[in-house]
Every structure is written in C-alpha cells, then in structure tokens.
Structure 1
Amino acid sequence: MRPILALLLAFTLSAAAAEKPNIIFILADDLGWGDLGCYGNRVIQTPNLDRMAREGMLFTQFYVNASVCSPSRCAFFTGQYPARHQIHGHYADPKMNEARGMSNWLKPEVPNAARLMKSAGYTTAHIGKWHLGSNSGGPPVGDYGFDFVGTSEKDGANGPAADPYFRANSTALFVDEALKFIEASQETPFYLQLWTLVPHATLNPTPEQLARYARLRAGSKDFPHASAMQIFAASVTNLDIQIGRLLEGLKKLGKEQDTLILFSSDNGPEDIHIVNAGHSGVGSAGPFRGRKRSLYEGGIRVPGIVRWPGKVPAGRIEDKAVMAGVDWLPTICKIAGVNLPEGNALDGEDVGDVLFGQSRQRTKPLMWEWRFNIAGEPFHHSPELAIRDGNWKLLMNPDRSRVELYDVTQDLTQLNNVAGQHPEVVEKLAAQVTSWAKSLPQGPRDSSAGKIHVGMPGKPDGRPVKSGGKKAEE
C-alpha cells in the first residue's frame, strides 16, 4: 500500500508542478526605452530580444518605480514602493546612506518574490547584480529566500582589477550559471532572477565585441579610436547575444514552452554629462524627456517584454495597458498560485489578465519621488514628486511649486504643460500624491531637489563631488 501511496503522491506533485510555469526575470542596468531594435533603434543590433518580442508581448508603457538602481529593484522584489523601506537612492556606504535618511539594506524578513515563490514549491536563484544592501555590508543574498546565488557584486561581479574585460564578459558568465541552475532544476519549477551589469558604466567591450561596430569608430584614419556609440552598441549587442544563448539553452533543455520570461531595465539611460559614464550616456530614452534620476518619462519608462509560448499572445504590442515594477510580485504570485501574506499591503496589482491578452487601464495610480539632485542636462531636471493616473501625469514639488501636467499618451516629450487648462485634474492628482508623500518615512532632501539648476557642480544622488566633476552612481 505504501508504494502505491508514494506513487500517487509523486504523481500529484508532478501534476501540480506542471501547472506552475518556470519564471525568469532578466533585468538590464541603465538600458533605455529606445535602445532595442524592437523599440525602434536602427543602430544597435538586438535580434534575440527582437525575436522574444515577436514571440511574446512588448509593452510601450512599462514603468519602473524609481529612477535609479536600488529602489527600482526593491519595487520589483517586494511589490511595494521603495520609500516604504527607506530606499530613496542607490545603496552606498553606511555613512552616505545615513546622510540621505536611508536604511542600509532591505530587511530579509520583508515578503519578497523569492521567498513567496519558494513557499509554493519553487526552486529559487539570483544571479548577477543585487544592490539591495551588499554595498552596505548587508545580509548574504541567500538570506532573502534563494536556494542558489550566483556571481553578484558582493563576491566579485565588478571584477578583479586585473581583468579589464570582466564586465564585458559578465553576462556570458551569468548565463553560464543560469543554464547550470536550470538544468539542475528538473523536479520542481524554478524562479530565476538574472540581473545584468550592462550597459551600466564603466563599459569596456572586448576587441571582438567592438569589431561588430567598426563603422562607428571615431578619429582619423591614422588615429582611430572607439566612439561612445561604438562602445555602447557593442555592449548592448553582447547582452542580446547572451540572452539568445539563454533562450536556446531553455529550448534544448525542453523548458521553453513552460517558462515565463520578463525582460526589463532598472531605470532609464545614463546622462552623457556624468564623469566616467559618457559612453553609457549615448543610450536612448526614445521620444521621452528625462534620463536616469529624472521623473520625466525617460527616467522611469523602460523596455518591458514578456514571453510565455502558448500563454502570452505572440507578436502583441501592448500600447494601452500600463505595467509597472510593483506589479511583478502580485502577478507572478497569482500565476503560480502563491498565497500572499495577510497584512502585507502591496502597491502593485495583478496584471496577469493583460499578459494573457486583455487590454485595459490599470486600477491603481503610480507614484514616484526623488529627493536629491539631478545632475546633467537641465532639460531633464524634474520636480520631486510625480503621479500617473490614466493618461494624465502630474509632476510637482511638495510645496506645490513647478506644477506640471501632461497627457503622456499624446505629449511624449512632456513639453506642453496643460496644468493651467485642467485645474480640477491638477487638484485631484496633487491631493493624491501629496497625501502619499506625507505617508512616507521622512528624511533629508537636497536643497536643489526639484529645481532646474544650470552649471551647478551637481552631486547625483547625493554622491560627494570630486575634482573633475560629477561621478556616476553604481
């Protein structure tokens, strides 16, 4: 009798696992909305991500919930606005975190995607960049609910000084680790976070990677040198090549049909004026105003591609529905049959119906804050607060200065401020975002936050200025 019961139990577990998709979340670093061929780029070759878009769904209105690294990642991972966890900018050393009113790391006990998926029988892994506290001496990544942790910046993802091409080859390393993890995950569904280092500065492609874009070389015939665009394009194309390896590996392992994949970026492209980041600063925000650190569209609207063969409609360009980073956790939990913990309020919403073909407006507005300087081009210096509800987006400072209202479905570059023409919309949205901002943990703000400052020796995200100008945050 016992062998029969064991067989029935094994069959039941196997059937349950078959109903749960494997889930892969690929997150690029500082990749802009317009940096992929499927988003209209005609310089950079991204055939594998373009194919992924043809075989799945491409969102034209995909948002992250912060304009820099750490808070954006927190939103994906927790389904909550990052300020709830005192993550306002990028995590740095404890002294700098304290000066900005920040925690030193995301608390491991906070309900998160890895721990929740693990509770539903998933094997979990994180490979690549983390930046949710490791810079500040935080807990090991495995403490957050991961069964396997691959290379991360805490144990060398930025590479030994003796290897100038570590970052250039890092995505290949991450994919190698990912394929080994996937091959080992035969008995249970898996949840994998693969967060890349590129195209974040400082980029240094290998000669082989640069050769693909020899036509973009700068200088004279006798003294040629790599241009910023050559460096950036080579880096993005290599990222695409490695994602192609991952897709092919899934196919060979027989897991292509039952794997849901999201590809996105943590924020918009870097500003070209930032020291040591010029070659990343040629990334494209598409038609949008704003870049990294800005709350204008280019800083927070990013690529969003979802593929699940046979489930997510192939070749769909979703230009009506709005999806955001905070929606990731509630959506995958619903798809995987995960029970969300009681009392843990989420800021995102389940958009599984959108992934499966329904096109609709979201039910919750989206809100953002940025408490620090925005270095670089003054045109991108946004107010401190922003809210999007329907087609309207309002930007303003807490004291209600610089009130700007745009229909972002029509005014993509956010040039035509119509606040004066729609006072009732302004009042409604201003009340919402002001109430939300007051509910957040209070902390210091830069004196120039929310202001347009020209010729200022800026400190992006509170980083102290060194001689020579502004330095990019990691």
Structure 2
Amino acid sequence: MPSDLRCNALLFAFSAMGVLAIVSGSSKLTNASEPPNIVFIFADDLGWGDLSCYGQRRIKTPNLDRLARQGTLFTQFYVAGSVCSPSRTGIMTGQSPARHRIFGHLANRESNQRRGMPDALDPDVPTLTDVLKDAGYVTAHFGKWHLGNVSPDQYGVDAFRTDKFCNVAGKQAIDIWSAEARPVCTANILDATLDFISEQSDAPEPFYVNAWFSDPHATLNPSPDQLDRVKNLAPQGVPFPGVAQVYYACVLEMDRQVGRFMDRLEQLGVADRTLVLFSSDNGPEDFQIRNSAHSGVGSSGPFRGRKRSIYEGGIRTPLIVRWPGHVPAGKVNRTSVISGLDFLPSLAAIAGASADAVSDGDGEAMDDVWLGADRERRTPCFWEWRYRVFGHPANKPPQLAVRDGDFKLLVNPDGGRVELYDLASDPGERDNVAANHPDVVQRLTRMALQWNKTLPDSPRDPGAGMESWRWP
C-alpha cells in the first residue's frame, strides 16, 4: 500500500474507533495435540545487553544462554512502556497502557492522583490471564505485581503469591524488597512457581504462570557468596564492593536460579510440553537514581537510552522463547519486530482461545513468528513518556515515538523536536536523518500526533521531552 494511503487508513481507524486495534491473522498451532503449559519469566530492569547471549562480555550467563540455544532469541523485542507498570499493563491487556491512564509506575494514592493515574489497572479490562482461564488454563502469578492495589484474582488469576497479595493456603506474600530478602528473592519466587507446577503437573488442564522477578531492580543486596562469584569486578585497594560487582552478582544469581528452575521442569516431566518465555520489563536503571547509586550500571547494549527513555535502550529488551519441537532451537531472529502488546493475541492463538477475546487489542498476533516464521511486522509500534528522564542528556527523548518498518520517529506533542532514525543502519539512534526523508517525517509525525490525540490527558513534567543541561 502506498505510504499516503497507509497513513490515511490508519487515521481513519483512529477516528472511527479511538484506538489502534489491529490483530493480524496468525498461524494455527502446529504439531501439537494439545495447548502447551506456559511460563512467562519477567526480569525487572534487566538491560538488553546484560546477558552473554546478547553480547555481554563482563560475565557469563550460562543458563539463560542455554535457554536461548534450546529456543529462539529475538533481537527486536519491545516492551510497551519504559517503566514497570506500563510495561506490565501492556503484557496483560494487549493494549497501550496509556489507554488505561497508566502513564508511569503505580505508587501511592497521592502520587497517582498528582499524575492523573488510577490506583490500579481497571479489573473490568480483559487480561491475558482472563483469556487463558476462559480457554481452560489454570492461571497463577508469583513475584512482583505492580499493577496496583487490586488483588490478582480480579484479573483471572487462580493462584498467587505476590509482594502484596497471597491466596495460597499456609503461605504469605513473598518479601522481594527487604534487604534481608534480596539475596534470595528470585529463588523464593521460583520456589513458589515450582510448588504450583508440581501440583499441576499431572492435572488434565494446562497451566499458565507469571513468574515476575524483582531482580535486578534496585535496591540490591547480594550475599557475600554472590559477590564472590564476580570478584573480578571488585574495585582494587578498598574494602567495599564495586557498582558493577553488586549489579552483576544479582544478574548471575538470577541466571543460576533460572537454570535450577529449568532443571526442575525436566525432573517433573513437563519441560517439553511447556512454552517458556523470558524477558525484561524495561531497560536498565541509571545510577543517578538514589536507590541504584550502588548498582545502576546495567547494559542497554549498543542502544541509546535507559529506563524511562523511549530511545531504544529504555524499551528494547531481551526475549527468549523456548518450546521443544515447536519453537526452532538455536535460532536468532533479527527480522521480526515484536511488542509486549503481542503477548495476549499470540498466546491466545497458541492456547486456542476465541478470537473475540482479543478483538480490541493494540498488538499483533506473532505466534507464527515465535514458531519459526521470519516476517516483518505489519503494524506500527507507539510509545509515550510524559515525565523527566534521568541521566545523560543524550538519553532524554521527545515525548512520543513511533516505529514503522525500519524507521523510528520521535516528536513532542506540539510537533517540535523531530528525530528520525533508520534503525536498520543506525540502531544506536545517533544519526538523525529527518532532513533526508521529509515524506517519511510527514507520514510518521501525523501518525504519532494522531495517536497521541486518542490518549487521555494528564499533567506532564515541565522538563518532559527536553534534552537540556544547566550550562554555566
């Protein structure tokens, strides 16, 4: 379709529906007599470049590297938001988090009200766990929640032990934030997950589990043994650990626990009939944030930006998908752009859920890509960030972004500060080529600004969208 017609068609969809609700046709589940069990492991503030299978050279992550060898590694996966709650909302709803007024992280009521946000994701909104439960799955959630002050059972979750809620008999909410709990928080989350899977391993119904970590989100407190595993990163001549040592001690412990978890799935006899997905909710935190002053050196790989930024480093994160006999083993997909908004329609297709359940989504069914197809994305991806971005001025983007094909455009809501990048040749977003492609700038700017008009309004930080420094 010519670019101007494509843009006009998109704008018509916006005006008619008020949302981008595109769910592309997906391939039917092949070579399977029954839907798989599904486990989604979600790390917290882990950067694209923090795993050795993604190019990290300071440490080795052998267990996540093994997961990648047994499945497919995707290099162009994007979360729907550059911080925790928006990213998780996108996974759970398949819709842009701003549609639900979740513009930033959910906090206390005063903070939420000041930013025009609710105290929780609306429980009347259909979620991934609702859809899979309706399709016959037993659903569970263990670990971090960060979708607000409403219990997970209101979102179609059967069993849960989070940092705030618990309905498992004889158990309590999992402590994932205290200094004492931090060295074992990932182990405790996966232990709770394994307890549930052990109970379900012989059940006739398939299971779906969210295992959402708090590692390596600050504040971190690795044990002496964990620090000793990365003593090569310790500073010389002083008695305290280094910043990289603290951070990567926790990454290594997370990797070790994922390996233990996968080994236990083998022992339970469910590994080959379980689809395992691993990702991270946003890019790595910056050391200028106080709680990460001792650890904020996670790697966004070759990309510009970190957590909060809608440059690549804040929103592009690892994605590894493993399902023996269905997902190609040892493959690296560098072609397909995948969004966190795609999880709901893709998993619904794999689970055999009704198409009606995903008809109002903003994502695209990419299950065919997960199962081995190499194709380009058919729909654009959008992001927004209304607040300050910390760290180096180069990491501070305009407030809106859209990616369509290889081009990504960033712009402020007033149409100013236009930046255009060809990510195929410039994934680091260093060369603004807006002057060379006025037709692309015009088309993508119209798309971004029209999309922004469909979103709820809210207070914005005065410094949002500005790349500034206080010069002397």
Tell me the TM-score normalised to structure 2 length.
0.89
Q: Deviations over 1:384-404 (max 9, x none)?
A: 000000000000001111100
Contact 1:203 1:235 in 2 (8 A): yes
Match of 2:152 in 1: 141
Match of 2:15 in 1: none
SS for the counterpart of 1:302 is coil
1:431 aligns with 2:446: yes
1:279 aligns with 2:294: yes
State the distance in 2 between where 1:379 and 1:237 align.
29
Match of 2:223 in 1: 206
Contact 2:345 2:358 in 1 (8 A): no
Match of 1:151 in 2: 162
Change (3 A) 1:381 1:24: same
User: What does residue range 33-432 of structure 1 map to in structure 2 within 5 Å?
Assistant: 33-133=48-148, 138-153=149-164, 157-159=174-176, 164-185=179-200, 186-187=202-203, 188-220=205-237, 223-341=238-356, 344-432=359-447
Q: Deviations over 1:69-90 (max 9, x none)?
A: 0000000011000001000000
Deviates more, 1:272-281 or 1:235-244: 272-281
Match of 1:459 in 2: none
Contact 2:161 2:174 in 1 (8 A): no
The one-letter code of the counterpart of 1:32 is G
State the distance in 2 between where 1:409 and 1:307 align.
26
State the distance in 2 between where 1:55 and 1:160 align.
32
Structure 1 vs Structure 2 CA RMSD: 1.5
Deviation at 1:143, TM superposition (A): 1.9
State the distance in 2 between where 1:412 and 1:368 align.
17
Q: Deviations over 1:168-211 (max 9, x none)?
A: 20110111111110011121100000000000000110111111
SS for the counterpart of 1:25 is strand
SS for the counterpart of 1:395 is strand
Contact 1:175 1:245 in 2 (8 A): no
Q: Deviations over 1:234-265 (max 9, x none)?
A: 10010011111110111011101111111000
Contact 2:234 2:245 in 1 (8 A): yes
State the distance in 2 between where 1:127 and 1:171 align.
10
Structure 1, unpaired ranges of 5+: 1-16, 457-474
The one-letter code of the counterpart of 2:36 is P
Q: Deviations over 1:269-299 (max 9, x none)?
A: 0112221212332100000000000010000
State the distance in 1 between where 2:174 and 2:395 align.
31
The one-letter code of the counterpart of 1:217 is A
SS for the counterpart of 2:76 is strand
Match of 1:460 in 2: none
Q: Deviations over 1:439-467 (max 9, x none)?
A: 001111111110013259xxxxxxxxxxx
The one-letter code of the counterpart of 2:220 is L
Deviation at 1:343, TM superposition (A): 8.2
State the distance in 1 between where 2:373 and 2:272 align.
21
State the distance in 1 between where 2:115 and 2:49 align.
31
The one-letter code of the counterpart of 1:143 is Q
- The alignment covers a number of residue pairs equal to 432
State the distance in 1 between where 2:143 and 2:357 align.
31
SS for the counterpart of 2:182 is helix
Q: Deviations over 1:114-135 (max 9, x none)?
A: 11111111111000000000xx
SS for the counterpart of 2:215 is coil
State the distance in 1 between where 2:51 and 2:357 align.
40
State the distance in 2 between where 1:241 and 1:150 align.
22
Deviates more, 1:332-341 or 1:26-35: 332-341
The one-letter code of the counterpart of 2:241 is A
Contact 1:44 1:236 in 2 (8 A): no
State the distance in 1 between where 2:469 and 2:144 align.
33
User: What does residue range 458-473 of structure 1 map to in structure 2 within 5 Å?
Assistant: none
State the distance in 2 between where 1:288 and 1:65 align.
17
The one-letter code of the counterpart of 2:219 is T
Structure 2, unpaired ranges of 5+: 1-31, 166-171
Contact 1:271 1:377 in 2 (8 A): no
The one-letter code of the counterpart of 1:144 is Y
State the distance in 1 between where 2:358 and 2:206 align.
27
SS for the counterpart of 1:299 is helix
SS for the counterpart of 2:75 is strand
Contact 2:163 2:176 in 1 (8 A): no
Change (3 A) 1:289 1:343: closer
State the distance in 2 between where 1:18 and 1:255 align.
15
Deviation at 1:144, TM superposition (A): 1.2
Deviation at 1:159, TM superposition (A): 5.0
Change (3 A) 1:131 1:160: closer
The one-letter code of the counterpart of 2:306 is R
SS for the counterpart of 1:232 is helix
SS for the counterpart of 2:67 is helix
State the distance in 2 between where 1:29 and 1:338 align.
29
Tell me the TM-score normalised to structure 1 length.
0.89
The one-letter code of the counterpart of 1:145 is G
State the distance in 2 between where 1:53 and 1:153 align.
32
State the distance in 2 between where 1:150 and 1:245 align.
20
SS for the counterpart of 2:116 is coil
Deviation at 1:160, TM superposition (A): 7.6
Deviates more, 1:151-160 or 1:186-195: 151-160
